[in-house]
Copies of this chain bind each other. A is one copy, B any other.
C-alpha cells in the first residue's frame, strides 16, 4: 500500500511538472486576453478592441454550463454506487482537472499558431469537451480500476481522441456540432474496449455493484444538471441562428426523451414500475442523439422524434443489451455508457448523415455552406464568387454534393468507432500491466482502498440521530 501511495503521488506530480514546462514553452494568451496585444491599449476608434464585446462574453454562459456538466453532471451521475461515492465524484474531479490541462496541450499540438498554443475561452471549452470523452470511458470501468489506471487511461485516451477528432474535422470535413461522434461515441467505445480487455468474471454480479436509496438521489443531481445544460453542450460552438436552432432542437429532443424513457421503463420492468437507472441515464440519450444534427434543419417535430427514438434505444439497451454484453461478450459496463453514449452516439452520426444528405440551398440558403463548409464551391470558382457576394462569411470549400457530404459523415462515424475500439483495446492492454495496481475483487466498487473513510458511519446510522 505504501507502494501505491508513491505511485499516485509520483505520477500526478510528474505529469504536473511536465504540463508546467510545456505550458511555459508553448502556451500563450490569445490577443483577446493578452495585455501585450496593442489592440487592448487602444480605443475602438483607433483600431483597438471593444472591451465591452470581448469574445469571452459570447461564450462564457454556455462554457460554464458545460463546465458544470463535466464536474457536477458526470461526477454526481456516477455516485449511484452505494460504496463508491467518494471515488465517483472525487476521481471524476481528478480526471477532469487532469484532462483540462492535457487536452489543452494535445489539441494545441494539432493546431499550432506560429509554433505556439493559443488559449482563449473557446479552447477552455473544447478542453471541457475532451474531458467528456474520458469521463464517458471512465463510466464503463467505474469501480473496477485504480485511480492510477484512470490517470493513465486519460493520458492515452486524449492522444487518440484529439487525433481522431482532428482527422474527422480536417480531412473528412465531417460536422458534429454536439460532438456525438467524436466525443460520445468515441468515449463510449473506447471505454467499452478497455472494459473488455480488463474483464474478469468477478467483476460481474458483484455484491457492491448497486445503489442504495439516497445514492440514487445523489445521482439525480448529476442527471438533472446534465439534462438541463445539454443545449449549451450542443450549441456552444455554433454561430448565430445555428446556435439558436441547436438550443431549440436539443431542448425538445430531451423533453421527448424524458417522457418516453418513463413510458418504456415502465413497459420493460416487472410490475410496471419505473427503474431509476433508466431515469438517470436514458433521459439524456436525446441530447446525444440530436448532437450531430442539432444545428441542422431537423425541425421541432424531428427533434421530438429523435429524442423519442433515443429513449427507446437506451432503455432497451439497459434492460437487454447490457446484460447480454456482460454475459456473452465479456464486456461489463458499470454505468451503461453503451446505452447513454455509445448507441445514441452512433444514432446521432447516422441521423447527421441523413440530414446532410437532404440538406439543400433551397432550405438552408447560403447557410448550407456555413454548416457544411466542404459543400462550399472551390476556390476561385464563379459559384463561390456569387455566394460570397451575398454572404462573405462563406469560405472556399471542396464543392461537395449533399450525398458526398453524407458519405463523409458516415465515414467519420465509422472511423471514430473503429479507432475508439482499437485504441481502447490497446489502452486496456497497457492498463493490465501489474504496476498500476489493478484492484482485486474485494476492492471493487468500494472506496475503502482509495479513501480515508469516516469511521463512525455504522455507529451513527444505528445511533439516535
Contact = CB atoms under 8 A, between A and B. Distances in A.
A300 B34 CA distance: 11
B301 A240 contact: no
A408 interface: no
A359 to B, nearest CB: 9
Contact of A366 (B41, B451, B454): B41
B448 A465 contact: yes
Interface in A384-423: 390-393
Contacts of A217: 79, 85-86, 89, 218
B267 A452 contact: no
A172 interface: no
Interface string A9-22: 10011011001110
Contact of A71 (B228, B241, B457, B458): B228
Nearest to A295: B35
B461 A34 contact: no
A382 interface: no
Contact of A224 (B38, B57, B71, B213): B71
Nearest to A311: B16
A213 B454 contact: yes
A65 B451 CA distance: 30
B55 A244 contact: yes
A101 B35 contact: no
B52 A252 contact: no
A33 B301 contact: no
Interface residues of A, number: 155
A449 to B, nearest CB: 8
Interface in A1-34: 1-9, 12-13, 15-16, 19-21, 23-24, 27-30, 32-34
A255 interface: yes
A58 to B, nearest CB: 7
A42 B392 CA distance: 8
Given A258-B94, A274-B451, A454-B210, A89 B224 contact: yes
Contacts of A368: 35
A212 B454 contact: yes
A295 B4 CA distance: 39
B460 A82 contact: yes
B5 A266 contact: yes
B274 A450 contact: yes
Nearest to A90: B279
A182 interface: no
A229 interface: yes
17 contacts: A4-B272, A12-B262, A23-B252, A23-B301, A27-B301, A29-B248, A34-B245, A35-B297, A41-B365, A41-B391, A49-B240, A51-B239, A85-B213, A97-B258, A100-B255, A215-B454, A276-B451
Given A9-B272, A213-B453, 13 more contacts: A9-B264, A12-B263, A20-B304, A24-B301, A27-B299, A33-B248, A41-B365, A46-B390, A56-B244, A97-B259, A121-B248, A124-B251, A211-B454
